[in-house]
Amino acid sequence: MRADAAHRPPAAGPLPATLDAPPSPLAGAPVAPPPALEAVGLRRAFGPRRAVDGVSLAVGAGECLALFGPNGAGKTTLLRMLAGLLTPTAGEARIDGAPIARDPAVRARVGLISHQALLYASLTARENVAFAARLYTLPDPEGAAMAALARMRVADRADTPVRRLSRGLQQRVSIARAMVHGPRVVLLDEPFTGLDEVGARALSDALTTLKAEGAALVLVTHNLAEGLALGTRVAVLRGGRVVYDRARAAVDNAGFAAEYRALIGGLDGY
């Protein structure tokens, strides 16, 4: 026998069963889907001022976040970032886990309803909504437009030029336009402004239906009763930061107004 062979270690055999890696406890477990809408560390600065300062939130399918806050709290700036209309200074907004800033197709899953109608005054109500339906490449733009107008109970004014409609009716047409493509996420910035009782009821019914269909909603409003009626979660924004965030079931109707006044420090006349 050669001397080097005599000192060569024996060939390694199979590892003992006791050294095998244990199976992962998560193996085969279903993976939870991402939230319909998610904000991760969103921040937006205008010069030295931080309008939104590190906001993180998540809204699941069929949920509505009622977002309150005084004037200048950063609510509209936050909505614009969530809609992909404003680039964050830092952080990211996502729809179904996909970053909204990188893909127009992801942004198309959002419907934004503002207190400003922003319609084409020379076009009829139907033409305004059908134009949006074509931008979203819906197969039947005219039919989708009429269905959206009917949902907002303004189909009888479909062929009226927008400039001849009252402020409240224009707002209803604007809401129909924002919802015509069945958005996955609906962002609402004081949407009840200018609506009469019929319009407000139509909007409330439409939002309730959207929630039931699995849409995720963020409702910005100064009307506490309005927000509490629709919200499944309640948050308060002050100075660009979330200072209150609770499930709606944990919010006391009778005591919330006083709690809100304390949170915002008497701003906005509270």
Mean pLDDT of 157-175: 95
Burial degree of 12 (CB within 10 A; 0-12, 13-18, 19+): exposed
* Contact (Cβ atoms closer than 8 angstroms) between residue 171 and residue 194: yes
Q: Which residues contact 169 (CB under 8 A, 6 or more apart)?
A: 125, 154, 157, 199
Least confident interval from 147-151, 159-163, 252-256: 252-256
Rg of the chain over Cα atoms, rounded to whole angstroms, equals 26
pLDDT at 58: 96
How much of the chain exceeds pLDDT 90, in percent?
80
- Distance CA(179)–CA(141), nearest Å, equals 13
DSSP 32-58: PPPPSEEEEEEEEEETTEEEEEEEEEE
Is the confidence at residue 17, as pLDDT, over 50?
no
pLDDT at 10: 53
Is the confidence at residue 4, as pLDDT, over 60?
no
* Contact (Cβ atoms closer than 8 angstroms) between residue 125 and residue 157: yes
Q: How confident is the model at residue 19 (pLDDT cuts 50, 70, 90)?
A: very low
Least confident interval from 21-25, 70-74, 129-133, 163-167: 21-25
pLDDT at 3: 47
Is the confidence at residue 27, as pLDDT, over 70?
no
Distance of CA 89 to the CA centre of its chain: 19
**Nearest by Cα to 91 from 53, 135, 146, 64:** 53
Longest dimension (CA), the chain: 107
How much of the chain exceeds pLDDT 70, in percent?
87
User: Could you read off the pLDDT of 196-255 as tens digits, one per residue?
Assistant: 999 999 999 999 999 999 999 999 999 999 999 999 999 999 999 999 999 999 999 889
Q: Which residues contact 191 (CB under 8 A, 6 or more apart)?
A: 113, 114, 115, 171, 175, 203, 219, 221
Sign of CA dihedral 123, 124, 128, 130: negative
Mean pLDDT of 125-131: 98
pLDDT at 71: 93
Distance of CA 60 to the CA centre of its chain: 9
pLDDT at 28: 63
Mean pLDDT of 22-35: 68
Predicted model pTM? 0.84
Polymer length of the chain = 270
